[in-house]
Amino acid sequence: RVFDVDPASHRTTTLMVGQFGFGRDGRSHDVGYLATGRVHGFVPPRWHNADHAVDIDDHWQANDLRRSVVHQFVVTADELTWLDEPAASPAVRLLRDTDASGLVVQFSLSRMSVPSAPDQPSRWQLNGTIAPWYPHEPRTYPAGRLLVPDSRGPSRTDGRLHNLSVELTDTHAILNMITAVPTVGTGPVDVGDLELRTAGDGRLVARLPREAYLGQEYLLACGLVTVP
């Protein structure tokens, strides 16, 4: 279910999921789900980006065509039902066998299609991931340290990054860049090599070469990047 808390604003479109399942092959009834589970509560919008798609011209719906948003919800372990099919998928076996408290589902909606006719629904591009969830992590907000663009810069620049989060370990930096890099067509914009530095003294923490977010692996991982 989709509803607007404030119908006059694009920033309040909230979801109610109810039931989640994954693994079924398209619309086929011959291939069953790998897992299903109940979802409770609301799924509010996060990380609004009014300029995610930078190749949109002066279309009358340009504001909708350019924007992106992130949603996230959790299915707790006691609400999950693993079906017989997971044995066929190594990835699903890892999700099932991990010592976690449930699954977190995060996805972005972007690049809305132009309606084919008046009063007809539009399609959105959906990208997302499923991962183990732990109680110390938020349910409806991306985990990690939030990094936001410098508000002192111009309001709309084709090479400007958007919100992302970072989690640091002793050896790696894990960046959630699901909608951080602006897009042209079906791929991200080349904004050059990136660096993660401390705010106080500018100490280098990690380097992110452009190949890390321009390649196929970035698209398959839906913006999750791990670098030394």
Instruction: Answer yes or no: do 126 and 100 share one domain.
Output: yes
Instruction: Answer yes or no: do 115 and 148 share one domain.
Output: no
Q: Please, which pLDDT band fits residue 122 given cuts at 50, 70 and 90?
A: confident
Last residue of one domain, picked from the residues 125, 140, 155? 140
Residue of higher predicted confidence among 154 and 200: 200
Instruction: Answer yes or no: do 175 and 100 share one domain.
Output: no
Average pLDDT over residues 98-109: 96
Q: Please, which pLDDT band fits residue 83 given cuts at 50, 70 and 90?
A: confident
Instruction: Answer yes or no: do 62 and 152 share one domain.
Output: no
Instruction: Answer yes or no: do 8 and 108 share one domain.
Output: yes
Instruction: Answer yes or no: do 129 and 196 share one domain.
Output: no
For the sheet with 68-76, list strands across it: 46-49, 68-76, 102-110, 125-133
Instruction: Answer yes or no: do 55 and 154 share one domain.
Output: no
Percent over 90 (pLDDT), the chain: 61
Instruction: Answer yes or no: do 44 and 131 share one domain.
Output: yes
Output the pLDDT for position 156.
52
Instruction: Answer yes or no: do 121 and 33 share one domain.
Output: yes
Average pLDDT, the chain: 89
> How many angstroms separate the CA atoms of 2 and 127, rounded?
18
- Model-level pTM? 0.89
Instruction: Answer yes or no: do 20 and 37 share one domain.
Output: yes
Number of domains into which the chain is organized: 2
Angstrom distances, CA of residue 24 to CA of 36, 42, 83, 124: 11, 25, 11, 20
The parent domain of residue 78 ranges over 1-140
Q: Please, which pLDDT band fits residue 183 given cuts at 50, 70 and 90?
A: very high
Instruction: Answer yes or no: do 132 and 28 share one domain.
Output: yes
Reported as a single tens digit per residue, the pLDDT across 28-40 is: 677 778 899 999 9
